Amino acid sequence: MTHRAQNQLANWKPTLAAIVAILLWIGYWYWGTLEAMAHIWWRSETYTHGLIVPPIALWLIWCNRQRLATMQPQVAGWFALPLAGLVFLWLLGDLTAVNALTQFAVIGLIVTSIMGMVGWQVSKALAFPLFFLFFAVPAGDFLLPRLMEWTADFTVLAVRLSGIPVFREGQSFVIPSGRWSVVEACSGVRYLIASLTVGTLYAYLTYTSLKRRLIFILVALVVPIVANWLRAYMIVMLGHLSDNKLAAGVDHLIYGWVFFGIVIVIMFAIGGRWAEPVRPLQPVNLTPGHNLQEPRHPWAIALILAIIVAAGPLYEKRLRQTNTDAVIQLSLPATAGSWRAEPAAIDWQPQFANPSAEQHSTYRNRNSWVGIYVAYYQNQNYDRKLVTSTNVLVTSTDPRWQIVASRQVNSSFGSSQVAFREAELLNKLGIADDRYIAWHGYWINGRLTSSDIEAKWLTAMAMLTGHGDDSAAIVIYAPKDSATKDLPAFVSEAGDEILRSLNEARLK
């Protein structure tokens, strides 16, 4: 090893030591978030790629080690500002139990801390490996409804163009040979995330110009979506033409992955035709007599970053101490105007997991009836939370109930105004055409909303201001033929009584 190389290595030692220390510090304070992320990698086929993202990022850095050794790491204290923003983002995510938000924030803490310790110039050389770490965040479930809708739209259109009659309701459709449904596994989100991750890495390793890299990443984003549409269409046609002997059961998933693998291989092969020769990385040339200097105050900056990193979990712990462990006493009013409470009229209940308390009743007024379900949540965490993708009116695998249409309606709720989410429910095992209209909204610490994002934001603000996280889901439903008249009448007349019951449960 030459004297110059020894100086270069010695120049990096304090910075590397400080980086290791700050990463261990982040691991200590945010271990729960990192552990939850690792569990998702391990148990979810959609996000298994997260297991190899950190090793790939480290490998990319190692491949660039010679050029990095010639560069001068310089701490940049101003990175403390975005670091503080990410800590606050993690705090919001943790208070509202949003896994994707907390995990994104923790990866951001890791990336920003490293950038703060090495400075802007070195960070530019590390840009892609650090950016690639964000692919470890298991996020993408929010795309499921839209992808499922697009897949159903294309499949129904393609089947009709093939000369086969189709009757569609929601994400389900019927053809002469049988019934098909587009469920979560058919959305193509697995293909999309896998293609985007691998395609981004391929673009970085294959091309040197930013334009070609971005074009290929766009292709890697579009191709799996279209490929999934074709996959769904071919599976339906295989089933139809083979009298449902082919592409039935788990076979259609296997066929799907085989088809997707072929499409990706073709995409990479075509992309390789425009591969650019790798430019050799030029080391930083130092002028004669110029010596690399030891970074200034790396441990001082590391201490500042460490204090900011710890602030989020410490403040979160303080906020959680204000939570109470009292048993929720939730009771709906026996009467609400001209409506009187009775047991639930139908054998259906929304699927909300682990509520602190719940009530399900029917209210009658002469020959009309309206059902109401309330799921109350307090002291929410990752196992018990109001707003989550698994809390739904009907699951996609429900053998009896199905959502066939949805939209938004505005109505008065007592003296309040709220935009409800409306869903049309079909009882597939019922006699004749057994349908119901359900209105769904949230009550967050006294405020009404039907937006998942606003509900999360209101919950976080209530926690930050010391008002707790008391929240509830309110679902009101009625038979379809009378819902247009009865639902607005009920919520207008009984809304204030229901809100009073929720406020009483919060204050007890």
Ordered DSSP codes for 131-178: HHGGGGS---GGGHHHHHHHHHHHHHHHHHHTT---EEETTEEEETTE
**C-beta separation of 419 from 409 below 8 A:** yes
Per-residue pLDDT at 332: 87
Per-residue pLDDT at 1: 47
Q: Which are the contacts of 286, defined by CB distance < 8 A and separation ≥ 6?
A: 70, 292
In 179-250, which residue ranges form alpha helices assigned H by DSSP?
189-206, 210-241
Over 70: is that where the pLDDT of 326 sits?
no
Question: 191-205 as b/e, with b when 16 or more CB fall inside 10 Å?
Answer: bbbbbbbbbbbbbbe
Over 70: is that where the pLDDT of 304 sits?
yes
Per-residue pLDDT at 480: 93
Q: What is the dihedral of CA 95, 101, 102, 104, to 10 degrees?
A: -170
Model's pTM, two decimal places?
0.84
Per-residue pLDDT at 9: 59
Per-residue pLDDT at 323: 62
DSSP 267-283: HHHHHHTTPPPPPPPPP
Q: How far apart are CA 145 and CA 36, in angstroms?
A: 24
Q: How far apart are CA 246 and CA 180, in angstroms?
A: 14
pLDDT one-digit tens code per residue, 39-78: 999 998 889 889 999 999 999 999 988 888 888 888 888 9
pLDDT one-digit tens code per residue, 363-381: 998 889 999 999 999 888 8
State what percent of residues in the chain have pLDDT above 90.
Answer: 44
